[in-house]
Structure 1
Amino acid sequence: MIAFDAAGSGPTVLLLHSTVCDRRMWDPQVPALVAAGYRTLRCDLPGYGETPVPDRPYDRARDVVDLLGTETAAIVGASGGGRVALEIAARWPDRVSALALLCTALAGHPPSAALEAFGEREDALLEAGDVAGATELNVDTWLGPDADEATREKVRRMQRHAFEVQLAVTDEPEPIRVEADLSAITAPSLLVSGGHDLPDFGRIADQLATRLPGARRLDLPWAGHLPSLERPDEVNELLIRFLKAG
């Protein structure tokens, strides 16, 4: 069972966090979405926040869809949460009314040299037992220049906790891999990238803009990888505008 919380009433907006964070990353978005007339549902993916690493193979997309029951939802996904959102929208297109993807990851994307170098450095730090160093590497890599120290500390806590949860498991089961056909997606989409992010995520957004129906492509020159934390008021406004237009 994955941990979740819900607030507000109205059409449901499902918030899927980056894998640098957990569902607390959406703290600045929930009040704004509720005030705009939406029910917000957010969860911790397996191995993050209050959701433990499963003890058997697991299907992240199905676990999230199960939270919705029979509801249809708009989905806002950040980074790794965007990858899960894309899978949900492809496997259950009738359950997704809109997709807002912030610096989304994409299954099968070949990493750039910069992203590979980041992964190798993170692995080396964790193998050396330097969890603090690996945490700081993530904070420095994924937050843009507009993130204040309180935001950096919030991401630091979330990433450190994720490492602690995941490293405590010696035999982590593999997630169930499902080949999702993106051509099955019917929901209109908003594809956001950041000018200070690694190049992979702008390229992914460009690629998806040619593949998804009704796609709107937006680059935020000021943003790093986590714009919803870096300038929450600005991102809240663009999300609500997109959802209302849907």
Structure 2
Amino acid sequence: MVEETIRSLSVGGVSYSYRLLRQPEGVTEPVMVLGGALQGMFGWPQMEDQVGPVADVVTADLPGMGSADPLPPGPSANIVCAAIERVIDDLGVPQVNLFGFSYGAGLAYGCAQRFPRRIARLALGGVPAHVTPAQLDLWRRAADHLARGDAESFATLVTEALMCLDERRHVTKRQLAYRYVRRSMLHAARHSPHAVDSLRRALVDRPDFSSGLTGVPTLVFSGEHDTVTSPARQRDFAARILGSRFLTIPDTDHWVVLERPQEVADLAARFFTDAPLNSAPCLIPAAREELAVGDPAYA
């Protein structure tokens, strides 16, 4: 029987909490899931269902997110990564598996760079490795809408910015994902005390995706039609991580974790237990890519 525990911690005077679903018969290190800037500890049921049978699952309201205390002014990456390492310490384990999606991919990557020995495996999806000036301007306008209290315009603008709405590209469950994302953004706008600050921090406090990583087994996956950062640019990012693998998941956009939720969670469970990835149900032969990095150009 899975046991649920919520624990409160603090780092740098900032209080936050994490949720642990303990699996007594787990076969791999605990899996910590890091999501979007406005996503809290209860937003990952698909990971709990698929990964829960093989590992403890950890989610969190990190500093500046969800129910946690706000972050102090200035750069926040160091304090958030310190909060994540504090969770690892509190779990009483030497290592965890990290799953990071979108904004959470940047956090997970930053943690792997800061304390690689604490990360057993690293799975990164929808990595915002390249953001254009036009995208930054859109996010600034979204933050301005939110600061003025215009939650409806904020939710629509952000949802459209994060999805591929080009009908010429097939995205499974597009309309369902659109409604879910917009409803989630609207809820965050109306109920999260950190929403405006989270958005503005994401604009100015970006991780360094240009530097490499060694010593941490890494999987990078992208939706086939990701319009936030293209699969090609995410593949270039993966190529800087020695020994990493890169996979494209067909018929999805940036919200691959919503459009193919069970398949993505199954992929993560396979990776975190060192099982073969080529037979994962989210892949088809025509779209399957696997990149083993050893090119000196990326060393």
TM-score by length of 2: 0.69
Question: What does 1:96-115 align with in structure 2 at a 5 Å threshold?
Answer: 96-106=119-129, 109=130, 111-115=131-135
Q: Which residue of 2 aligns with 1:43?
A: 60
* 2:257 counterpart SS class: helix
The counterpart of 1:142, out of the listed 153, 158, 162, is 162
CA distance in 2, matches of 1:31, 1:161: 29
After superposition, the Cα gap between the structure-2 partners of 1:167 and 1:178, relative to the gap in structure 1 and judged at 3 Å, is: closer
* 2:42 counterpart SS class: helix
The 8 Å contact of residues 46 and 60 in structure 1, kept in 2 or not, is answered as: yes
Q: Which has the higher helix share?
A: 1
CA distance in 1, matches of 2:132, 2:196: 26
* 1:94 counterpart SS class: helix
Q: Which residue of 2 aligns with 1:14?
A: 32
CA distance in 1, matches of 2:187, 2:122: 24
Task: Select between 149-158 and 177-186 the one with higher mean Cα deviation.
Answer: 177-186
**Residues paired across the two proteins, number:** 238
Matched, 1:3 2:24: no
* 1:28 counterpart SS class: helix
Q: Which has the larger radius of gyration?
A: 2
Query: Per-residue deviation at 1:12?
Result: 0.4
Matched, 1:152 2:170: no
Q: Which residue of 2 aligns with 1:131?
A: 151
Question: What does 1:8-87 align with in structure 2 at a 5 Å threshold?
Answer: 8-9=22-23, 10=26, 11-35=29-53, 37-55=54-72, 58=76, 59-69=79-89, 70-71=92-93, 72-87=95-110
Matched, 1:235 2:235: no
Question: What does 1:77-226 align with in structure 2 at a 5 Å threshold?
Answer: 77-106=100-129, 109=130, 111-143=131-163, 145=171, 146-147=173-174, 148=176, 151-152=180-181, 155-157=184-186, 159-161=188-190, 164-167=193-196, 182-226=211-255
CA distance in 2, matches of 1:104, 1:130: 28
After superposition, the Cα gap between the structure-2 partners of 1:204 and 1:235, relative to the gap in structure 1 and judged at 3 Å, is: same
Letter of the 1:83 counterpart: G
Query: Per-residue deviation at 1:30?
Result: 1.0
Identity level (%) = 21
Query: Per-residue deviation at 1:119?
Result: 1.8
* 1:76 counterpart SS class: strand
Query: Per-residue deviation at 1:184?
Result: 4.5
After superposition, the Cα gap between the structure-2 partners of 1:68 and 1:221, relative to the gap in structure 1 and judged at 3 Å, is: same
Unaligned 5+ segments in structure 2 are 1-14, 165-170, 276-299
- Tell me which of the two structures has the higher relative contact order, counting C-alpha pairs closer than 8 angstroms and 6 or more residues apart: 1
Task: Select between 225-234 and 119-128 the one with higher mean Cα deviation.
Answer: 119-128
TM-score by length of 1: 0.82
CA distance in 1, matches of 2:88, 2:187: 25
